Amino acid sequence: MNLRNLSARIVSRVLKEGQSLTAALEQSLGTIESANDKAFVQALCYGVIREFYRLDFLLGQLLNKPIKDDEIKALALIGLYQLEYMRVKAHAAVSETVSAAPRKKPWAKPLLNAIMRNYQRRRDELQSLADNDPVAASNHPQWLIDTIGSNWPEQAGHLLAENNLQAPMTLRVNSARIGRTEYKEQLAAAQLGAIETSEYPSALILERPVPVEQLPGFSEGLVSVQDLAAQLSAELLDLKPNQRVLDVCAAPGGKSAHILEMQANLSGLTAIDIDANRMQKVRDTLRRLRLDAECIVADASQPNDWWDGVPYDRILLDAPCSALGVIRRHPDIKLLRKPGDIAPLQQLQQKILEAVWPLLAPGGLLIYATCSILKEENELQIQRFLNHHQDATEWPIDCNWGMARPQGRQILTGSQAMDGFYYARIRKH
């Protein structure tokens, strides 16, 4: 199996078919036996997608006319990525990329060879040109540069830079099963270094990312992978024994699991998601962690189809959003998200929020969360909701993370090692 050819096909599925990088990799990595080979393919694919706008600019400078063949264009991008960003020796990068071209496309080998050798000769000149092109320099499409700039003019440069970094691998220790200090000792025994964070009692940040199979006790449910920002939701719910909790848009299940780890004596947790495949991931997560919840595949905006009429004491709504706060974790968002996506997502958020509010008991608490940094999905959404509901009052979040907004708190990508996230707490009276 040629790993570069496989990587090119994965990248092509993202660029031309609009498939998510996660899904494209899941489809293909199962065909690779070697852990090192899997890691190499992942590094290539994530790297090319993360650096796509710069690489695409460089490739354009090296061509007289665009490459129409998707697979060969992806191979050319992979070749340039190796030369610029990987420790692969230049001669090996050139020869192996050229040999990855399919035999049935004999024209591709000399083209790839010429592109890569020409880049080696003109590297400094081409990099200087890229540095002066806004899209290539920031590695973002122009609409996203403009959108982030209009939302956060003072922080825009920092946000664009953070989006291009690789996110840290953060763990959530299952405190119902093992203490953080004890688990950290298990990591050390496995030669995995980790950093504690005083604000998050169950969190550890690994010094280097590893496959989950290498984490001690992962399959036994001692630990999960979850960003620091996402770990805040369970704490914000202010959970008490015998409460009834609803987790809306629950997949892939990390927040549901954290709720159950934090409060083992709930009267029940209902997890709802519209996607059956993603709900299976919730079930798999809970099974691994030896936890139990009612899992329902249904449309959260249509509670008459699934609600039993008994009010909930706590509702967590992790609303569908643009996901612009997690680009560093999912760099394909830069390519797959479109400007026209934002307004329909706002309408969907509003629809779900309106639908689940009547399910909350008087005196109950709703947490609204997104992994977005856009004000129209976050503080403006909550402002509109509060203006239209006399029985809703914001319960301000007193903490040392993120920044206070007119409504809720916003975490900007990279702040305190966290993903971009938004939280607001609403009381019903």
Residues facing residue 392 across a β-bridge: 428
* Angstrom distance (rounded) from CA 131 to CA 364: 52
Cβ neighbours of residue 41 closer than 8 Å, sequence gap 6 or more: 3, 6, 7, 10, 25, 28, 29, 32
- Tell me: is residue 146 an annotated ligand-binding position: no
Residues with Cβ < 8 Å from 269, sequence gap 6 or more? Answer: 245, 246, 247, 256, 259, 260, 293, 294
Show Cβ contacts of residue 17 under 8 Å, excluding neighbours closer than 6 positions: none
Ligand-binding site membership of 318 (annotated) = yes
Q: How many CA atoms lie within 13 A of 220 on its CB side?
A: 9
According to the annotation, is 249 in a ligand binding site? yes
Instruction: Report the alpha-carbon distance of residue 368 to residue 318 in Å, rounded.
Output: 6
Burial level of 126, CB count in 10 A (0-12/13-18/19+)? Answer: buried
Do the annotations mark residue 420 as ligand-binding? no
What residues contact 110, with CB distance under 8 A and at least 6 apart?
none
Residue 364 annotated in ligand binding: no
Catalytic annotation present for 399: no
Contacts of residue 348, Cβ cutoff 8 Å, sequence gap at least 6: 301, 319, 320
Q: Of 45, 295, 321, 371, which residue is the catalytic one?
A: 371
Annotated binding-site residue? 299? yes
CA nearest to 83, candidates 38, 60, 51: 51
Tell whether residue 179 is among the known ligand binding residues: no
Region of 290 (left: φ > 0; alpha: ψ -120 to 50; beta: rest) is: left
Q: Which residues are annotated as a binding site?
A: 249-255, 273, 299, 318
Q: Which residues are annotated as a binding site for S-adenosyl-L-methionine?
A: 249-255, 273, 299, 318
Give the catalytic positions in this structure.
371
